[in-house]
């Protein structure tokens, strides 16, 4: 049961509600978002923090410098911003990070945003998490109307897990996944394919996920943000992974196109679904329906471009959302046609200087 508006909500939540009710009404009249290439923007990914309790070596350096807390949008501002996008036609909202579940009072934001599920303005509220804090929050996520989540897990080997994440505890993540499943959440596993690290383990990771009825999606390393070491040492093309899997399994393309970058196959031997996200070897931009907001309120209309629009300024400039809506419209009007990531020996540098943890993966 979700908590109704007046039944025992905290003052903090009340403040969010009061502010956003006005905002919702004001924005419902504004037009839906369509970019210059006719793509309807219906999916928003929001990084609620750049901080994380892990340090995956392909994502962050060990001594990552995080943003000053004062630069981050407050939970109320995040709610207002998300609600503005929902009023402009966003139907799916994904909360990510950094690690979204390490943000203090994160569940109050989830609870507050869930009102858009109640009204039918939003089809889906979801999140991407490393799973380390999931055991504590799974039941409440489900209670807030979250139905599906993505959990990132690159290996089932505790030592490799510690190497990849620098200090993570695999058991905590596995307990988080089980808690989520027990709470009725559908879990999809995301794994980054890493050269000389988990390449060999992908079949067993897939068998494990499919045995539990979870989809597995494989991701190619993207050249985002400066990290220790070059990308060439990490990158393995998924075309190669797929070819290797095909020697062992029967993979049949299926047309489960979610408007996102993943392309899916059905694996006959396991009966499960396997997704491939191949920004490096396959350009998926033509059907792109999404934009991203960082935890400081910067809007990126393309993961692979340095394009950026500051939404924090118009958000803070006035209590009504006219300026904000105009800034959003202008940014959507400039959404690039596509990206151009390259990793080879000549381009062993980040294509985009911001880290995935800032943009929201
Ligand atoms: N902390 C959460 C997690 O790990 O799921 C959410 C944020 S994380 C940035 C989102 C996803 O981005 C994870 O699946 C992670 O593996 C992936 N990721 C991070 N850096 C990446 C990179 N350089 N290339 C490809 N995927 C990356
Ligand atoms: Fe943290 Fe996710 Fe980045 Fe790993 S991939 S360091 S869990 S934000």
Q: Which residue puts its alpha carbon closest to atom 26 of ligand 1?
A: 221
Q: State residue 222's pLDDT score.
A: 78
Q: Which ligand is nearest to the CA of 64?
A: 2
How many whole angstroms from 166 Cα to the centroid of ligand 2? Answer: 11
C-alpha closest to that of 53 among 106, 132, 154, 128: 132
How many whole angstroms from 99 Cα to the centroid of ligand 1? Answer: 9
Closest ligand 1 atom, residue 59 Cα: 20
Q: Which ligand is nearest to the CA of 99?
A: 1
Across the chain, which distance is largest between two alpha carbons, in Å? 60
Q: Where are the alpha helices (DSSP H) in the chain?
A: 11-27, 75-87, 106-113, 115-119, 134-143, 158-165, 170-182, 202-211, 238-248, 312-317, 322-332, 356-359
Name the residue of 50, 100, 130 whose CB sits within 8 Å of the most ligand 2 atoms, as the mutation to test its pocket: 130
Cβ(135) to ligand 1 under 6 A? no
Q: Tell me the CA end-to-end span of the chain in Å, nearest whole number.
A: 30
Closest ligand 2 atom, residue 52 Cα: 1
Cβ(50) to ligand 2 under 6 A? no
Q: String of b and e for 269-305 (b: at least 16 CB within 10 Å)?
A: ebebbbbbbbbbeeebbeebbbbbbbbbbbbbbbbbb
How far apart CA 14 and CA 20 sit, in angstroms, is: 10
Closest ligand 1 atom, residue 192 Cα: 16
Name the residue of 98, 134, 153, 227 whose CB sits within 8 Å of the most ligand 2 atoms, as the mutation to test its pocket: 98
**What is the CB neighbour count within 10 angstroms for residue 318?**
10
Spell out the residues 6+ positions from residue 51 whose beta carbon is closer than 8 angstroms to its own: 66, 97, 98, 99, 102, 103
How far apart CA 57 and CA 163 sit, in angstroms, is: 8
How many whole angstroms from 219 Cα to the centroid of ligand 1? Answer: 9
Q: State residue 346's pLDDT score.
A: 46
Q: Token pair for residue 26?
A: 């004001």
Closest ligand 2 atom, residue 55 Cα: 6
User: For 227-245, what is each residue's pLDDT tens digit?
Assistant: 556 565 788 999 999 999 9
Q: Which residue puts its alpha carbon closest to atom 10 of ligand 1?
A: 361
Is there a contact between 94 and 127 (Cβ–Cβ < 8 Å)? yes
How many whole angstroms from 133 Cα to the centroid of ligand 1? Answer: 16
Spell out the residues 6+ positions from residue 183 whose beta carbon is closer than 8 angstroms to its own: 138, 139, 141, 142
Q: Which residue puts its alpha carbon closest to atom 25 of ligand 1?
A: 221
Cβ(42) to ligand 1 under 6 A? no
* CATH number belonging to the domain at 33-359, selected among 1.10.10.10, 3.20.20.70, 3.40.50.10480, 3.30.420.140: 3.20.20.70
Q: Token pair for residue 328?
A: 């959003």
Q: Token pair for residue 113?
A: 């945003």
* Angle subtended by helix axes 238-248 and 202-211, to nearest 10: 70
Cα–Cα–Cα angle for 354, 355, 359, nearest 5°?
80
How far apart CA 224 and CA 361 sit, in angstroms, is: 10
Cβ(52) to ligand 2 under 6 A? yes
Regions in the chain scoring below 50 on pLDDT: 1-30, 343-348
How many whole angstroms from 130 Cα to the centroid of ligand 1? Answer: 9
Q: State residue 6's pLDDT score.
A: 40
The H or E element containing residue 96 is strand 92-96
User: For 10-24, what is each residue's pLDDT tens digit?
Assistant: 434 444 444 444 444
Cβ(192) to ligand 1 under 6 A? yes
SS (H, E, C) 171-228: HHHHHHHHHHHHCCCEEEEEEECECCCCHHHHHHHHHHHHHCCCEEEEECCCCECCCC
């Amino acid at each position: 049961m979700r908590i109704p508006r007046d039944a025992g909500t905290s003052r903090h939540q009340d403040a969010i509600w009061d502010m956003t009710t006005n905002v919702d009404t004001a924005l419902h009249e504004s037009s839906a978002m369509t970019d210059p290439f006719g793509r309807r923007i219906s999916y928003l990914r929001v990084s609620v923090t750049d901080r994380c309790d892990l340090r995956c070596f392909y994502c962050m350096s060990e001594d990552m410098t995080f943003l000053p807390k004062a630069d981050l949008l407050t939970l109320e501002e995040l709610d207002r911003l998300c609600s503005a996008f929902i009023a402009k036609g966003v139907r799916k909202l994904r909360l990510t990070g950094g690690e979204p579940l390490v943000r203090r009072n994160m569940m109050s934001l989830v609870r507050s945003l869930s009102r858009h599920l109640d009204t039918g303005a939003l089809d889906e509220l979801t999140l991407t998490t490393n799973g380390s804090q999931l055991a504590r929050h799974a039941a409440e996520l489900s209670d807030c109307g979250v139905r599906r989540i993505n959990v990132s897990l690159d290996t089932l080997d505790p030592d490799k897990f510690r190497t990849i994440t620098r200090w993570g505890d695999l058991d905590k993540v596995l307990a988080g996944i089980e808690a989520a499943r027990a709470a009725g959440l559908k879990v999809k596993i995301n794994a980054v394919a890493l050269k000389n690290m988990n390449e060999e383990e992908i079949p067993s990771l897939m068998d494990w996920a499919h045995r539990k009825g979870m989809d597995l999606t494989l991701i190619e390393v993207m050249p985002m943000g400066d990290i220790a070491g070059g990308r060439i040492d990490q990158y393995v093309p998924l075309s190669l992974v797929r070819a290797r899997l095909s020697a062992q399994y029967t993979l049949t393309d299926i047309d489960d196109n979610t408007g996102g970058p993943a392309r899916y196959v059905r694996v006959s031997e396991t009966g499960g679904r396997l997704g491939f996200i191949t920004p490096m070897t396959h350009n998926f931009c033509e059907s792109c329906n999404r934009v991203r907001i960082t935890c400081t309120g910067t809007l990126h209309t393309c993961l692979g471009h340095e394009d950026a629009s500051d939404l924090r300024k118009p958000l803070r400039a006035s209590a009504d959302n006219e300026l904000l809506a105009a800034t959003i419209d202008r940014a959507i009007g400039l959404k690039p046609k596509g990206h151009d990531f390259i990793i080879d020996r000549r381009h062993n540098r980040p294509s985009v200087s911001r880290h995935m943890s800032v943009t929201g993966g």
